[in-house]
Amino acid sequence: MSSVIVAYILVDVDIGSEHDVVREILDKYGNLVTEARVTYGEHDLVVRVEVPSMRALDMVVSGIRSIKGVRKTTTLIAS
């Protein structure tokens, strides 16, 4: 039985780019993203992912960081 890693990626983006960034995340990683929401508060987006490995999580987080408008990410791995 293989285990799945569940992580929440908190994303800070440039003002006004929230919806564009969510769309790009879903376009690029929709097969791994189970939820992506624009939020109001300290962070601009919350992205929930289910990945098969830490290597896959690194690929998703690095990819999100490379999207135009993304300023910072914080990753929380669920236990």
Q: What is the pLDDT of residues 1-57, one digit of tens each?
A: 569 999 999 999 999 999 999 999 999 999 999 999 999 999 999 999 999 999 999
Q: Say which CATH number the domain at 59 has.
A: 3.30.70.920
- Report how far residue 2's alpha carbon sits from residue 27's, in angstroms, rounded to the nearest whole number: 26
pLDDT at residue 2, rounded to an integer: 66
Residue 54: give the domain boundaries. 5-77
- How many CA atoms lie within 13 Å of 36's alpha carbon, on the beta-carbon side? 19
- Report how far residue 5's alpha carbon sits from residue 50's, in angstroms, rounded to the nearest whole number: 6
Neighbours of 13 (CB within 10 A): 22
Domains in the chain, number: 1
Largest CA distance in the chain: 43
